Structure 1
Amino acid sequence: MLYNRIIKQGTINEPEGKPDPQFALPATVNWMRALRILAEDEGIDFTAAISYYRQEGKRNMDARVENTVLEQLFLGLHHLSALDQFRGGTTAADYARVGVLAWYYGIANAASAMTAAQSGSFQEDHAGTARLWDEQIASRSLAMAPFSWRVSSLVGKTYKTEIDALRNASSGKLQTQPITKDDAQGAAAGYLSGSAKWYAWKTEEDLRRNRAFRDLGVDNFRSKPARALRDQWLDRKPVGFVHQAARYRGKANYREALFLAYGPGTETLLSGYIDDMHAVLKAFLVMAGAFASRKLGKNLWLEFVADVDAKKAFTTSASNIWT
């Protein structure tokens, strides 16, 4: 009954019906598994991450900037601890939706710590955080794979070429659970392609409401001036990992009640999902912490880790992640 009503009859905000969760769920689960496989293949731990950032030196920061870096890392660690506790649950669907939220906010906090450490910059909204992290970190080769995966533009011929290079001839599909690194490359490339397509559509919708487009006196992008204006907008819109994470969280938080929570096959599909989210967030936090430690300097970093482990009210140990 609920499926027919929501999917086929629609709701106030989507009168034509919500997307079918039976299609969305495998892609959601498989992207997270792909990220975990790729992160584990990269061997992301604190020692490896410190080595990756060996050329990054201590940066002179105002105390409030230092405090922002430490605060955001602490928030991210708290979200990781929540996911760690969810792993002990018996029914994955009980935790899947709030697990996505914990995962995303942990990613956003860690990303904010990195941008604050890099340039003293901080954004409080989702789009701003994604844009700033891509600009300050990913586009400057300061993110470890697979978190470095990005497209530099939303112009179709540009992003499709870049995604093909990341796919590296993999035949892996997003609708099929990845097992090998090759599978994971294909699945991750598929999710990035879908994200680029979605952000391109969103950019076009924003452009349609812009005066520059209205002044052309057209209602589509078939004319040469309209295409040129569209491509100008698309060309300055990259999409990186935090953009993908924000879109990922939006599905769980806003749109689809049945997604992650309805149907007899859901629990089977969610097998291992919480573990995968935990592993991916842990890898991202390890990376962010290593970067921050280089920018903050050894003394402040060791003081921070020791203080967290002495005073934290949650279970996950800072020293287990960041030493």
Structure 2
Amino acid sequence: MAQWLLNRLFDAKDQPKPRFAFQGTVNWMRALSILVENGSFEDEKIKNHYKAVSRRKPNPEADTLVFENMMMAFHNQASLVRLTEDATHPYDVCRSAIISWYYGTYFTCSAMIAAASGSKQETHAHTAKVWQSDIVDQGLLMKPFSLSLSSLVEKVIEAEISTYLGSNKQDLNTYAGSDDEAWGAVVSYLKGTWDYEKWRVEERIKTSREFKALGVDSFRTKKARELRDEQLEKKGVNYLIQAFRYRGKANYRDSVFLSYGDDNSEKIKTFVQDLEKVSRAFQRMAACYLSRRVEKGAWSEFIADLQANSRLSLDPKYLEM
């Protein structure tokens, strides 16, 4: 049968082709899942990564912010666990699962920031910026969550992407089945997010008074490139920025690809499971850092309190470190 809705969308707007939107969404999470399940996130390896983290001076207010954010992350993880259990109709829950995954990630990042500097952000964009300086730049993440780009300037990111890839020729078009394919896919998604973020900055610059004063319509001239690159130097890409883009793709820009057209039920079932596995690994990694930053004994009290008073069905033991 002709795809009536999709044809209308193509006629009305710049609609991404469902096949490529589907590949980008499912293949990235498959790659992340492979990389967190290959032994790299065993307890001893996580603990070894954070063994040099020192406990900060008592800061009850910041600690409370840590626990509040991790309670929210825990709740979203509980939602993901339940969503993975509906194996009969995975399409029905996959978009909701992405939202739970994103907010589990976001609140975990906010908790890590609170543990690092005690700061609290009002927007998602500001949270990603502070997370870069407080967490990413301090080497407080494990691969693949540590991948980031220091700029949006093309010559800078080309060098950084090349360093990440080495001789790896894999990309996001492959549904990963090995560590090598998974690594190529996550670097490919990182580069794709750079391309998207660069486009966003360029579109914003084109509406600025400074750009209009140049009397041009592109960045081919030297002055236009200098104006653009000055802004691109101030931006970068990290895991939280990728997550924010990911949520937007699923929720807004690519409206039909997760529930319409070709039947990919088995991949969607695996996809929902991958979301839960990646979120769990990210939260457990963060929990190790958090437990070493909050007041001594407080993390154990937090876990015990969840076990006694949480009305969620998920056991918080996965957050014990």
Q: Match of 1:5, as an amino acid?
A: R
Does structure 2 conserve the Cα–Cα contact (< 8 Å) formed by 1:306 and 1:319? Answer: no
Match of 2:8 in 1: 5
Does structure 2 conserve the Cα–Cα contact (< 8 Å) formed by 1:80 and 1:281? Answer: yes
Match of 1:13 in 2: none
The count of corresponding residues between Structure 1 and Structure 2 is 317
Match of 2:250 in 1: 252
Match of 1:291 in 2: 289
Does structure 1 conserve the Cα–Cα contact (< 8 Å) formed by 2:151 and 2:234? Answer: yes
- Picking from 189, 210, 213, the partner of 1:191 is 189
Root mean square deviation of aligned Cα:
1.5
- Tell me: CA distance 1:18–1:313, structure 2 relative to 1, closer, same or farther (3 Å): same
TM-score, length of structure 2 as denominator length: 0.94
Does structure 2 conserve the Cα–Cα contact (< 8 Å) formed by 1:152 and 1:239? Answer: yes
**CA offset at residue 64 of structure 1?**
2.1
Q: Does 1:24 align with 2:21?
A: yes
Structure 2: gaps of 5 or more residues: none
Match of 1:229 in 2: 227
The range that moved more, 179-188 or 259-268, is: 259-268
- Picking from 49, 53, 73, the partner of 1:76 is 73
Q: Does 1:205 align with 2:199?
A: no
Percent of aligned positions that are identical:
37
Q: Using the alignment, how far apart are the partners of 2:62 and 2:249 within structure 1? A: 32
TM-score, length of structure 1 as denominator length: 0.94
Q: Using the alignment, how far apart are the partners of 2:135 and 2:211 within structure 1? A: 32
**CA offset at residue 45 of structure 1?**
4.2
Q: Using the alignment, how far apart are the partners of 1:258 and 1:122 within structure 2? A: 35
Q: Match of 2:11, as an amino acid?
A: Q
Match of 2:38 in 1: 41
Does structure 2 conserve the Cα–Cα contact (< 8 Å) formed by 1:33 and 1:276? Answer: yes
Q: Which consecutive segments of 4 or more residues in structure 1 shift more than 6 A?
A: none
| Cα deviation 1:85-106 (Å, max 9, x = unaligned) | 1111111111110000000000
Q: Using the alignment, how far apart are the partners of 2:263 and 2:134 within structure 1? A: 41
Structure 1: gaps of 5 or more residues: 11-15
Match of 2:163 in 1: 165
Q: Using the alignment, how far apart are the partners of 2:70 and 2:42 within structure 1? A: 16
Does structure 1 conserve the Cα–Cα contact (< 8 Å) formed by 2:303 and 2:319? Answer: no
Does structure 1 conserve the Cα–Cα contact (< 8 Å) formed by 2:300 and 2:320? Answer: no
Q: Match of 2:208, as an amino acid?
A: N
Q: Using the alignment, how far apart are the partners of 2:317 and 2:283 within structure 1? A: 12
- Picking from 56, 60, 63, the partner of 1:63 is 60
Match of 2:112 in 1: 114
Q: Does 1:278 align with 2:276?
A: yes
Match of 1:140 in 2: 138
Match of 1:180 in 2: 178
